[in-house]
Amino acid sequence: MTNTNFCTEVKSVKELFKSLNVETVVVELDVIERGQELRQALSARVGRTSVPQVFISGQHIGGCDDTHRARDDGLLAKLLKGHDYDYDLIVIGGGSGGLAASKEAVKYNKKVAVLDFVVPTPLGTAWGLGGTCVNVGCIPKKLMHTAALIGQTLKDAPHYGWNIPGDCPGVKEFAITSDDLFSLPYCPGKTLVIGASYVALECAGFLRGLGLDVTVMVRSILLRGFDQEMAEKAGQYMAEEGVKFLRPSIPQRIQQLESGAPGRLLVTAKRTDNNQEFSEEYNTVLFAIGRDPCTDTIGLENAGVLKEKNGKLATISEKTNVDNIYAVGDILYGKLELTPVAIEAGVLLARRLFGGSNVECDYINVPTTVFTPLEYGACGYTEEQAVQTFGEQNIEERLLGFHYLGPNAGEVTQLVGLSLKMKATKADLDALIGIHPTCAEVFTTLDVTKRSGLAPDLKSCCG
């Protein structure tokens, strides 16, 4: 860098490189011998005599403004890094988290490559970029959930004075399960759903809502990782709506009795409490027991990346045990498998890598909803987690968790996440004026605790 030491622009450039922890070599033209000759040589090379002029590894950057612009558009960081590589960021997986990180990195003028491949299911179902959510998860699942809710609304319509004609033959030849069944060209008929995840219960719920005979086979508890009292209430409501439960049971074998669309299948299962076997005939069997990570097939062992027993990656701030290898999304060990979480983690990771940020993803105060027939919204700690983390007696009335079972749970729960992040208290809820008449206004008038043993009886809505 050639400069006149007292110049304010020189000081600005010095401060810039100091903030980047970069050592500089300063050539003061008005101090050294032959300074005038160097100024003439500078003019001959870059066509300028003004100072400062900045060079990095022999490459001319320009003056003060040019240097700051190079910092803003990422050129400065690239020159200072000095590594020889093809890409600034390589993302393995074209799901929500990977795409979010990729798009955020591009904002910093980084060269990004996304490697995506979907292993087809045994029936051949596959999809492109976007991951589970937009292709065979949240979006088509919510569409079918909405279809079931509309069907329930039509069923209730006569009680509100609407005369709705009956369905034409073949209208109900539509169903949905996981991956394959999102694109089934025929009605699945009598369906057995194996699993107790939110995917299993959501699919079972809306299939029943669409008029199908549905059974759910459960090994142990419902909705592992969610508040168990609320999970049981959600399951109880499903049973009241006609969903049958086989619990605790696990499948033993499936035999095809007749091919077709749908065909006929004989499922033999065993109760895990008494080892008694039993059989039942179904048209469709859906496994909804979760997804295995693909970490065994992408060569992570070649890089020395450590995996948990289930194949997922344990990270600290999304960083694996190997430098420059990070992970976001469903592949993270012990984190929520939700599209918005993956997007947030991907964006924040890219900002930390390339934007100088230090903001990390909050994996605790995440609002989510299980779209069972009676929807279940949750955010923050479950009751079990709160007791384990803070103890039963440390009551400060700060909101640690929120759990709601009722209509429109997603809409009710969304902004509760902000309340938890802002460390709102019971007093803050009490001071909030509710919207009347709504389900959510009940949280502004809570006055019965669970440990009191009292029943939360309904009150007058007018005071």
What total number of domains does the chain contain? 4
The CATH number that applies at residue 60 is 3.40.30.10
Asked which of 287, 306, 340 is the last residue of a domain, the reply is: 287
Residue range of the domain that includes 309: 89-117+292-354
Residues whose CB falls within 8 Å of the CB of residue 107, separated by 6 or more in sequence, listed in order: 350
216 lies in the same domain as 243: yes
In the prediction, which pLDDT does 167 show?
45
178 lies in the same domain as 283: yes
Whether 48 shows a pLDDT value over 90: the answer reads no
In whole angstroms, what is the distance from residue 226 CA to residue 384 CA? 9
Q: What are the φ/ψ torsions at residue 140 (nearest 5 degrees)? A: -65, -30
368 belongs to a structural domain: no
- Mean pLDDT in residue range 82-96: 82
Selection from 110, 23, 113, 22 nearest residue 74 by Cα: 110
Q: Hey, which residues does 216 pair with through a beta bridge?
A: 193, 245
User: What average pLDDT does the chain have?
Assistant: 84
Q: Give the lowest-confidence range in 83-97, 134-148, 166-180, 403-417.
A: 166-180
276 lies in the same domain as 314: no
In whole angstroms, what is the distance from residue 337 CA to residue 329 CA? 7
In the prediction, which pLDDT does 296 show?
86
In whole angstroms, what is the distance from residue 171 CA to residue 194 CA? 26
Q: What are the φ/ψ torsions at residue 385 (nearest 5 degrees)? A: -65, -40
13 lies in the same domain as 68: yes
73 belongs to a structural domain: yes
360 belongs to a structural domain: no
336 lies in the same domain as 423: no
Asked which of 354, 388, 408 is the last residue of a domain, the reply is: 354
145 belongs to a structural domain: no
Q: Give the lowest-confidence range in 24-33, 144-153, 186-195, 203-212.
A: 24-33
Q: Give the lowest-confidence range in 57-61, 68-72, 426-430.
A: 57-61
In the prediction, which pLDDT does 2 show?
55
Asked which of 37, 54, 81 is the last residue of a domain, the reply is: 81
19 belongs to a structural domain: yes
Cα dihedral: 379, 384, 385, 387 (round 10): 120
- Comparing 106 with 39, which gets the higher pLDDT? 106
75 lies in the same domain as 17: yes
Q: Give the lowest-confidence range in 114-118, 178-182, 351-355.
A: 178-182
Q: Give the lowest-confidence range in 234-243, 254-263, 374-383, 406-415.
A: 254-263
227 lies in the same domain as 316: no
In whole angstroms, what is the distance from residue 36 CA to residue 39 CA? 5
For 311-360, the pLDDT digits (tens) are: 999 999 999 999 999 999 998 998 988 889 999 999 999 999 998 889 99
Whether 177 shows a pLDDT value over 60: the answer reads no
In whole angstroms, what is the distance from residue 361 CA to residue 347 CA? 9
In whole angstroms, what is the distance from residue 216 CA to residue 205 CA? 10
Whether 1 shows a pLDDT value over 60: the answer reads no
433 belongs to a structural domain: yes
The SS3 assignment for 159 reads: helix
Q: Hey, which residues does 407 pair with through a beta bridge?
A: none
111 lies in the same domain as 181: no
279 lies in the same domain as 298: no
Longest dimension (CA), the chain: 99
Three state DSSP letters for 32-51: CCCHHHHHHHHHHHHCCCCC
The CATH number that applies at residue 266 is 3.50.50.60
Whether 277 shows a pLDDT value over 80: the answer reads yes
**Do 54 and 48 form a contact (C-beta atoms < 8 A)?**
no
In whole angstroms, what is the distance from residue 225 CA to residue 28 CA? 65
Q: How many CB atoms lie within 10 A of CB 94?
A: 19
Q: What amino acid positions are annotated as catalytic residues? A: 436
316 lies in the same domain as 398: no
For 199-233, the pLDDT digits (tens) are: 999 999 989 998 999 999 999 999 988 889 999 99
The CATH number that applies at residue 439 is 3.30.390.30
In the prediction, which pLDDT does 294 show?
84
361 belongs to a structural domain: no
138 belongs to a structural domain: no
